[in-house]
Amino acid sequence: MTIFSGPLALLALLAIFILSGLLGGPVSPSDVAVSDWMTSLGHSHPQLTCFAAVLTQLGSVYATLGLGLLASALLAARREFRTAALLVGTIVLERLSVDGLKLLIGRARPDFDLPFMPSSASFPSGHSANSMAAFVAVALLAMPPAWRRSALAAAIGLSILVGLTRIFLGVHWPSDVIGGWALGAALALTAASFANQPGRAVSDGEKAA
């Protein structure tokens, strides 16, 4: 479907996720250095912190699941019921995977005294994974073919911004965000590959007609 799809892309994303989990976090000098720099930047520019606090909500469970449900409803209206179910299932699976991985890995969050510091573990970043999985899946599964490339570019760009806000706000290490992006992208691309299996070329609505 795209230049990013295929087994090699999925293997690369898996490798990025594993390396981010093994090499990042509080034991990584580069993670610590980048986190210190970005949070100090936020302290120096409180207006950017306010903007980041708003933008980061686009990666919340409520925003991404809401987007997925809306896109799925539009697919169902076009009688593409299989794709609609696949889209919702991808977003739900991503969220469950993040929760399970956080419990399994248990990485500590950055040690900043913030009033809004989440209580869950740090790796992978849920907002980063949420936004990458939901935005990319919607672009690949729900957008008309003529708009798909532009929608995919916008989805990736917006997800990158959401992930950067997590570092800027001091609630995640950079490797948490990279791992979240990799996980979300892998799940979205896997969903797109299922949608493109033989027999998917004709939509449910076209069959009914």
Taking only the tens place, the pLDDT of each residue in 144-164 is 999 999 999 999 999 999 999
Q: Which tokens in the block code for residue 203?
A: 């939509």
CA distances from 176 to 21, 134, 164, 171, 202 (A): 7, 18, 11, 10, 39
Taking only the tens place, the pLDDT of each residue in 97-145 is 999 999 999 999 887 655 556 678 899 999 999 999 999 999 999 999 9
Q: Single out the residue of 55, 14, 3, 8 nearest to residue 184, CA to CA.
A: 14
pTM of the entire structure?
A: 0.87
- In order of their start, the domains of the chain are 7-197 (1.20.144)
C-beta of residue 131 within 8 angstroms of C-beta of residue 184: yes
